[in-house]
Homo-oligomer: A and B are copies of this chain.
C-alpha cells in the first residue's frame, strides 16, 4: 500500500471517529505509521486532507438510486426497493451518516453541504416518480417532501442514535446490524401502508 493510501485510510478512520475538530494530525500519522510531516507533504493541511476524505465519503450518505427509479414499476415498489437498498447500504458504512451530519452542522464546514447528492440526484427522481403515479391514482396523496424526509429519517436515525440503542437494549454490534436488517421489512410495511390509496 502506498504512503498516500495509508494516510487516506488512517485519515478516514480518525475523521469519522472524532470529526474535524476532534481529530489530531498526530493520531492520523500514528495510525498510518508514518511521520507527521508526511501528512503535510502529501496533503498540505488538515483542511485539505479532510476535504479529500469528505469528498470520497459524501457519496455514501445517499445511495445511488438511478437503478431503482428508472425501473418500470410503481412508486410504492420503488420506495420499498429504496429502503432495502438504503439500509443495506448504510449497514456497510454505519458511521457515515453521523460523519456527514456532524460535518454539515460544524461551523466553518457549511460549504460541504453542496457536495451531497441530495438536491440534484436524490430528490428529483423521487418527486417525479411520485407525481406520475399520483396523477394515475396509484398512490395516496401525501406531501412528497415530508414523505422523503420521513423515509430517510426512519432509515438513518437508528445509526445516529446507535449508542442509545446499544445501551438501552444491551446490543452487541452484530445484534445491532441484525436489527437493522430486520428493519428493512418492517419499514417496507410502513411505507406500503402510508402510500396505498
Contact = CB atoms under 8 A, between A and B. Distances in A.
Given A18-B21, A98-B101, A118-B168, A150 B154 contact: yes
A140 to B, nearest CB: 8
Interface in A126-174: 140, 142-143, 145-147, 149-150, 152-158, 160-165, 167-169
Interface in A92-132: 98, 101-102, 104-107, 110, 113-114, 116, 118-119, 123
A81 B46 CA distance: 47
A143 B98 contact: no
A190 interface: yes
A190 B107 contact: no
Contacts of A140: 193
Residue of A107, A156, A186 with most partner-chain B CB within 10 A:
A186
A67 interface: no
8 contacts: A18-B21, A104-B161, A113-B167, A116-B164, A119-B164, A147-B186, A153-B155, A193-B193
